Amino acid sequence: MKKIADLHVHTNCSDGILSPDELLAKAIEQKITHISITDHDNIDGYKIALHSEFTKQIEIISGIELSCSENQREYHLLGYNFDIENKELSKHINKFRDIRIIRAKNMHNKLIGLGVNINFDDILEIAGDAPIARPHIAKAITSAGYAENFYDAFSKFIGDDAPAYEPKINFPVTEGINIIHSAVGVVVLAHPANYVDENTLHNFIKSGLDGIEVVHPMHNITQRNKYKAIARKYNILQTGGSDFHGNRPTDEINFGNEVVSADVFYKILEISKSRKRRKFLFF
């Protein structure tokens, strides 16, 4: 059987709809042999998955999608195979969870001012144990009848150029890279197409990126070839995944198809193992 990896998926521990168990079961059905759960700004889904019976049938490494923001632009970093007990990473995750609540409250206040009378407790209930994100707010808006669907809620109210939008706090990409590296993990720039210009990408690589997400539903063939060439130039990883959430129109098509060779999975293991050895020798 061909070994394939999906290194970008989400569970209901962030803004996906499947539990970690359900996601692993679905991945096995799709013949995915290697996976990383990369929930937004938390690792709860990975921790739960570690205790799943399905891990006997699929290989899994720790993952996270860190939200970075600088110069009024948002960037996402994928971290892999890091130490989940790392104090600096844990501190950041806890701090970011609190910051997300403050951001959500600010957006809620703006929505009230626009006549969108939703209850903040409803947003909390929708988010559950996951860090609050805009999709949770969008669902509350839609459920209350102020928008036709998820996309309508973003367009009218909470999208980047919408009236209830609240910018994220400044968290530079270099800081995100350093946090993942401090946890002896591997860090990759997520889905750079359409939001990262080439000069910015080169600067991020010089700041310590270990790879670029080449395979992603957002990327067409031309863009994939472009990022492959850049990755080869700098001798860094070419990763990929479906960015599966379970509630997007093309998720079912992408899951099991937007994948990379399991060789990429093993290269990640090699890099983080080497990083651990160097850290041990240094101390």
User: Is the pLDDT score of 283 beyond 50?
Assistant: no
β partners of residue 260: 5
Region at 112 (left for phi over 0; alpha for psi -120 to 50; beta for the rest): alpha
Please check the confidence at residue 18 and state whether its pLDDT lies above 70: yes
Confidence class for position 281, pLDDT limits 50, 70, 90? low
- Answer yes or no: is pLDDT of 282 > 50: no
Give the start-to-end residue ranges of the domains of the chain: 4-86+173-282, 92-158
Mean pLDDT of 61-71: 95
Given the structure tokens 């209901």, which residue do they identify? 12
Query: Chain centroid to CA 5: how far?
Result: 16
Q: What is the pTM of this model?
A: 0.91
Q: Give the pLDDT mean for 150-162.
A: 93
Question: CB neighbours of 74 closer than 8 A, spacing ≥ 6?
Answer: 67, 68, 168, 195
Burial 91-111 (b: 16+ CB within 10 A, else e): ebbeebeebbbebbeebbebb
For the segment 48-65, what is each residue's pLDDT rounded down to a tens digit? 999 999 999 999 999 999
Q: What percent of the chain has pLDDT over 70?
A: 98
User: 92-158 has which fold?
Assistant: DNA polymerase; domain 1 (1.10.150)
pLDDT over threshold 70, residue 35: yes
In angstroms, the CA 168 to CA 49 distance is 29
Percent pLDDT > 90 in the chain is 86
Contact, 103 vs 166, CB < 8 A? yes
Residue 245: half-sphere exposure toward Cβ, Cα within 13 Å: 11
Q: What is the mean pLDDT of the chain?
A: 94
212 phi, psi to nearest 5 deg: -125, 140
- Least confident window among 7-11, 194-198, 266-270: 194-198
DSSP bridge pairs for 202: none
Q: Which CATH class is domain 4-86+173-282?
A: alpha beta
Question: CA angle, 150 as apex, 149 and 151 as ends, to 5°?
Answer: 95
Angle between helices 120-127 and 87-113 (to 10 degrees): 140
222-277: per-residue pLDDT in tens?
999 999 999 999 999 999 999 999 988 899 999 999 999 999 999 999 999 988 87
What pLDDT score does 280 carry? 55
Q: What is the 3-state secondary structure (H, E, C) of the chain?
A: CCCEEEEEECCCCCCCCCCHHHHHHHHHHCCCCEEEECCECCCHHHHHHCCCHHHHCCEEECEEEEEEEECCEEEEEEEECCCCCCHHHHHHHHHHHHHHHHHHHHHHHHHHHCCCCCCHHHHHHHHCCCCCCHHHHHHHHHHCCCCCCHHHHHHHHHCCCCCCCCCCCCECHHHHHHHHHHCCCEEEECCCCCCCCHHHHHHHHHCCCCEEEEECCCCCHHHHHHHHHHHHHHCCEEEECCCECCCCCCHHHHCCCCCEEHHHHHHHHHHHHHHHHHHHHHC
- CA-only gyration radius of the chain, Å: 19
Band (pLDDT 50/70/90 cuts) for residue 279 is low
91-146: pLDDT as tens digits: 999 998 999 999 999 999 999 999 999 999 999 999 988 889 899 999 999 999 99
Cβ atoms 176, 208 nearer than 8 A: no
Q: How far apart are the first and last CA of the chain?
A: 42
